[in-house]
Structure 1
Amino acid sequence: MSTNHFVPLSALAFAPGAYVNESLYVTAKLKRMAFSGLYMALKKSRTAWALTRILHTNKSPWGVAFLSSSCPRMSVGPMEPPFTADHYSVSRLPFPDVTSEDLNFFQRLLPGRVVTDEDDLKRYNIDWLRTVRGNSKLLLRPQNTEEVSKILKYCNDRNLAVSPQGGNTGLVGGSVPVFDEIILSTALMDQVTSFDQVSGTLVCQSGCILESLNQYLEGQGYIMPLDLGAKGSCHIGGNLATNAGGLRVLRYGSLRGTVLGLEAVLPDGSILNCLNSLRKDNTGYDLKQLFIGSEGTLGVITAVSILCPRKPKSVNLALLGCESFSRVLQVFTLCRDHLGEILSAYEFQDLESMRVVQTHLKLSNPLQESAFYILIETAGSCEQHDEEKLNAFLAKALESGLVESGTVATDQGKIKSLWALRERITEALAHDGYVYKYDLSIPVEKLYALVEETRARLGTSARRVVGYGHLGDGNLHLNITSETYSESLLAALEPFVYQWTAGHSGSISAEHGLGFKKRDHIYYSKSSEAVQLMQRLKKMLDPKGIMNPYKTIPQAD
């Protein structure tokens, strides 16, 4: 009997109306696997997007963070990381301390929206992954651009350092203070200004939560062009500031293409209004691009104009198993040829990442064990058309022997359940031990070679070496686990991972940014001339260096 089998989720006795593909073959063995484990796992994980996520990463042997994707706040557990200044080799720049006179000014400007209580400040001082911890004594919560302008003008005049903060979901320590910088939170700047039903252009404040924007747009028949695991907490302004990627880059491109305009407050308090909604504007330099990916070092983004696509009427998700990474690449080529304009996501994960979610989260793999797994999502406007194209692609992939097994889901609940096998890898890794995390951009054909070489290099010193990510745009998430934090293991990883990436014309940061942790590694991806130009731009816009110091760009000599 052939080993190539598809297991449609409709075979698992779900509610009426489930998708049935008569051309897909189901073995008795896989049916037994499905009924014994998958149904209950899928039933339990229908609301997996709202479950608590546990995260843990490099240089953080002090605890874990708990965050629900439906909750905009991080809960600080009993264990807290040490202060960044005590754990890392970094010196405080000569910024003055905040005085009572400063506090009085801010309290007059923002009545009831100034936070000074030490306990209340903890969750804003500690990053999402609990790896870095600032010591800010002051949090400001403006509601509009004018208040941000007055805050920055005052801070610039007084030479007070400022750390802008959105949802605090960053993974590189860019959204929390390093020392005692004033935290400027955009959490109260959460209003939708306008939405154009004809063009699909949304204008909103920078503190709007990504998931809330998507829910608003779905009511209008549109969606956000961005989808992230942290969508229940991250702010659209922070997404722009880090040039966040996510699952939809393959279909809709990066934020550099979908953002039509933005408004930002410069360090001296002046307001830069580039908030147009034009698809074409060829009048001089495109200044908004300076702020996309600037990580709060050039100013504070206060509003955004973004082009939103129509909400798909038909969504399908296929999970496929492959015997090798070369087959994963071949399926990608076949996928683009057959699915074309309806292809919206192409994610891959290796066997180790599948095993880790099975072991620690008790999620069931609906397929037979394979070396690699692929998640392929289609999104279109015609259900019959999309279904026919997907079936033709699956038949060709099966006929050519590129895939070993597969399953398809069209119901939203079951789609979320399949996505959980990929999206909850980070959570599962936290249960596996201490985690070293890398977010890399690598030419697609070489994407998994780094995982293999890392695994061979570390041998038995690592518990697990895992590779997964967004194959459609060449983004690898490399994760290594060990029983406890190890300096020797870290030394074996760095600078090896960065040198390997640079040697293959990659980038050491694909979508997470540089922040505090990766700032000094920028030279692996940028020339000294490029870094010097960035430093000159920083000096021109922020001559006193008050905006998010110690982050993103190395200090100029």
Structure 2
Amino acid sequence: MQNALMGILLQCNKAITRCSRKITGRYYSTGAAKPELTSIRYKIQRGPYATVTDADVRFFESLLGSSHLITDPDECEHYNIDFAKTVRGASKLVLKPTSTEEVCAILKYCNEQRLAVCPQSGNTGLVGGSNPIFDEIVISLKLMNKILDTNELTGILTCEAGCILQDLDNHLSTVDLMMPLDLGAKGSCLIGGCVSTNAGGLRLLRYGNLHGNILGIEAVKANGDIVDALNTLKKNNTGYHLKHIFIGSEGTLGIITKVAIQCPPLPKAKNVAFLGLASFDKVLKTYFLAKHHLGEILSSCEMMDRLSIDVSINNLGMKNPLTSREDGHEFYMIIETSGSHLVHDEEKLSSFVEKAINGDLIEDGTMTNESKKLDTIWALRERISEGVLREGYVFKYDISLPLLSFYNVIEVLRKQIRDPRIIRISGYGHLGDGNLHVQVSIPEYYEDVAAQLEPFIFEYVSKCQGSISAEHGIGFKKTKYLHLSRSSSEIQMMYDLKKMMDPNGILNPYKLLEPIIEKL
């Protein structure tokens, strides 16, 4: 047993391909063809909005300057199509404001002219929420990327909505702080989009969701009015907390332009254990053991099944650090600790792994605190979304489930859908907060495969008392299924808020509350 323990605690010293965690661009599926127009594929009827005219273009050009306006069809396609090439709009105009005042002027004009708009951040979502459906004007926030204030004493960062998450993290590290949010797409996603979708990420287990970390917000309503809720107090119990209206509203109630974020101290010690397991039951038992044994230093607990890890290994040429079995393991876990004392944390993690071995929970594993190896291990998990796109089209579902039902949905799908065209049905995600990412890969989009998956998967999740969306929002793709996770009274209140804040329905139409026009 001692020899086995020593072997499992050895850090992986073999040369393994280093892959940076920073995702700097968009990843598209290998097919060169554009996806079918969303309006045609999903048979959507255009709302009663005006069409952009030459006079409108001239107005925006006088407001922003020609360099901050895109009308070239080829350039517009980058904003019309999502990163996974699953949706495609037909916008002929992209605006790139550089200030809140310009956003105000844009929305005031669009509201008066009844021109629909589609706010867009990094375009890294899964549900088509940041892409136009028809010819909505795309408002890109990428040029609003200033860091406005960093309060080292209180740990509060104030910035514009167009700041890239990775850039914010790099900036904060210079003053021993970090972002409470960490995503695989951190090199391209923008903080405004993260807040608009209430993104969760890899370390929600430790730092909580954005409703708790966002102290203040500045947003612009449909009529151009500014909502200044950019308060930086940790405790401000005065009336309605209006910031929460915009967190998770997906650009349907207003466009977020600035945020104030509570940032935790940068950990002085970080350790990762990469584990191979034989069954999901043992995954659950290992997570339970980690929570109780690692306690306050546990910062992340991720689960990947064999087919998910195969994506990174086979499609991206990465190496599996665990080589004790040629055929790999049925399940893998990444358990990360973050603390202030390296030796103490290392001892706790080693003790945890020893208990897991003695309890016959894990088959193999490796631990490390070296930054290069940390990055490589995390890349195996974070680049799954990139690798799966190389197989063709992928149906991706971001769902929350009670832990006892967490992996059942994958097994049920494999039994329910036995279509020979399906390449893989796999699952991975944030075990620590019940967030599972389901991937169903096929060579190209097939409508009959989509019909087999939806609404079956959403109805199954609802029966398990889960949520049809964990961290990517409802967007366009899940509007028909909102009722499976929200009561009728909640949905009606959402419509009431939409009608009050955007009576003409110009903000991100066809999203979240589809069909919105008939309800207004």
SS of the residue 1:440 aligns to: strand
User: 1:160 maps to which residue?
Assistant: 115
Per-residue deviation, residues 347-396 of structure 1 (Å, max 9, x unmatched): 00112222333322232222232221110001111111111111111111
Query: Pick from 87, 93, 97: which aligns with 2:41?
Result: 87
CA deviation digits over 1:73-120, x for unaligned, max 9?
xxxxx4222322222211111111122222222122112322222222
Range 237-246 or range 362-371, more displaced: 362-371
1:464-475 mapped onto 2 (5 Å cutoff)? 464-475=424-435
Which one-letter code corresponds to 1:447 in the other structure?
Answer: F
Q: Confirm or deny that 1:211 pairs with 2:158.
A: no
Structure 1 residue corresponding to 2:20, chosen from 47, 68, 80: 47
Q: Is the 8 A contact 2:202 2:430 kept in 1?
A: yes
User: Are 1:524 and 2:484 an aligned pair?
Assistant: yes
The amino acid that maps onto 1:45 is: R
**Structure 2 CA distance for aligned equivalents of residues 94 and 460 of structure 1:** 40
Q: Quickly say closer, same or farther: Cα 1:484–1:543, change in 2 above 3 A.
A: closer
Q: Which deviations, in whole Å up to 9, do the C-alpha atoms of 1:176-223 show, x marking residues without a partner?
A: 111111111111111011011111000001111111111100011111
Contact preservation (8 Å) 1:55, 1:426: no
The question of 1:276 aligning with 2:231 is answered yes
Of 452, 471, 478, the residue aligned with 2:438 is: 478
Task: Output aligned runs, 1:56-95, within 5 Å.
Answer: 56=29, 78-95=32-49
For residues 258 and 12 of structure 2, the distance between their equivalents in structure 1, rounded to whole angstroms, comes to: 47
Using the TM superposition, give the Cα deviation of residue 489 of structure 1 relative to its aligned residue in structure 2, in angstroms.
2.7
1:463 maps to 2:418? no
The residue that corresponds to 1:327 in the other structure is: 282
CA shift digits 1:29-80 (9 cap, x unpaired): xxxxxx5xxx1xx2x3243645877444xxxxxx55xxxxxxxxxxxxx422
Query: Within 5 A, what are the aligned runs for 1:359-370?
Result: 359-367=314-322, 368=325, 369-370=328-329
In 1: Cα distance, 2:3 partner to 2:251 partner: 52
User: Which of 265, 286, 293 is the equivalent residue of 2:241?
Assistant: 286
Secondary structure of the 2:361 match is: coil
Whole-angstrom CA distance in 1 between matches of 2:384 and 2:119: 29
> Any residues of structure 2 matched to 1:151-300 within 5 Å, and which?
151-300=106-255
One-letter amino acid matched to 1:104:
R
Residue 492 of structure 1: CA displacement? 2.2
Offset of 1:132 from its aligned partner?
Answer: 1.5
Provide TM-score, normalisation by structure 2: 0.94
- Is the 1:267–1:542 contact (alpha carbons within 8 Å) kept by the matching residues of 2? yes
Match of 2:310 in 1: 355
Matching residue's letter, 1:508: I
- Give, in whole Å, the separation in 2 of the partners of 1:50 and 1:289: 29
Contact 1:97 1:160 in 2 (8 A): yes
User: How far is the alpha carbon of 1:437 from its aligned partner?
Assistant: 1.5
Query: CA RMSD, aligned part only?
Result: 1.9
Secondary structure of the corresponding residue to residue 374 of structure 2? helix
- Do structure 1's residue 443 and structure 2's residue 397 form an aligned pair? no
Q: Which amino acid aligns with 2:47?
A: L
CA contact 1:7–1:366 (8 Å) conserved in 2: no
**Superposition pairs of residues 373-384 of structure 1, within 5 angstroms:** 373-384=332-343
Contact map agreement 2:12 2:321 (CA 8 A) in 1? no
1:502 pairs with 428, 450, 462, which one?
A: 462
Amino acid paired to 2:342: E
C-alpha contact 2:22 2:186 (8 A) present in aligned 1: no
What is the CA distance between 1:323 and its match in structure 2?
1.6
The amino acid across from 1:312 in the alignment is P
State which drifts further: 454-463 or 92-101.
Answer: 454-463
Are the aligned partners of 2:162 and 2:191 in contact in 1 as well (CA < 8 Å)? yes
Residue equivalent to 1:413: 372
Shift of 1:324: 1.3
Partner of 1:97: 51
Whether 2:300 is the aligned partner of 1:345: answer yes
1:361 to 1:139, Cα distance in 2 relative to 1, 3 A: closer
What whole-Å deviation, never above 9, does each CA across 1:390-448 have from its counterpart, x for those lacking one?
11111111111111111001111101111122122223323344322211100011101
Shift of 1:327: 1.0
The letter for the 2-side match of 1:237 is: G
Q: Give unpaired runs (5+ residues) of structure 1.
A: 13-34, 57-62, 65-77
In structure 2, the CA distance between the partners of 1:3 and 1:54, relative to structure 1 (3 Å rule), is farther
CA distance in 1, matches of 2:306, 2:3: 18
Counterpart CA distance in 1 for 2:134 and 2:249 is 20
Gaps of 5+ in 2: none
Contact between 2:27 and 2:83, CA under 8 Å: does it hold in 1?
A: no
Aligned partner of residue 431 in structure 1, secondary structure: helix
Q: 1:191 to 1:8 in 2, by over 3 A?
A: same
Mapped to 1, the partners of 2:469 and 2:78 lie a distance apart of 25
Question: Residue in 1 aligned with 2:393?
Answer: 434
User: Counterparts of 2:351 and 2:11 in 1: how far apart (Å)?
Assistant: 19
Alpha-carbon separation, structure 1, partners of 2:103 and 2:488: 33
- Cα distance 1:249–1:348, how it changes in 2: closer, same or farther (>3 A)? same
Secondary structure of 1:397's aligned partner: helix
The corresponding residue for 2:348 is 389
Partner SS, residue 384 of structure 1: helix
**Secondary structure at the residue paired with 1:127?**
coil
Q: Secondary structure of the residue that 2:457 maps to in structure 1?
A: helix
Q: Distance in 2 between matches of 1:285 and 1:51?
A: 38
- Distance 1:211-1:11 versus aligned 2 partners, 3 A rule: closer
Q: Tell me how far 1:484 sits from its aligned partner.
A: 4.2
Q: Indicate conservation of the 8 Å contact 2:216/2:259, yes or no.
A: yes
For 2:339 and 2:154, locate their aligned partners in 1 and report how far apart those are by CA, in whole Å.
18
- Matched-pair identity in %: 48
Say if 1:3 and 1:404, in contact at 8 Å, map to a contact too.
Answer: no
| Cα drift, residue 3 of structure 1 | 11
Does residue 551 of structure 1 match 2:511? yes
Per-residue displacement from partner, 1:321-363 (whole Å, max 9, x unpaired)?
1221111111111101111111110000112222333322232
Q: Distance in 1 between matches of 2:79 and 2:367?
A: 41
Partner Cα distance (1:411, 1:529) in 2: 51
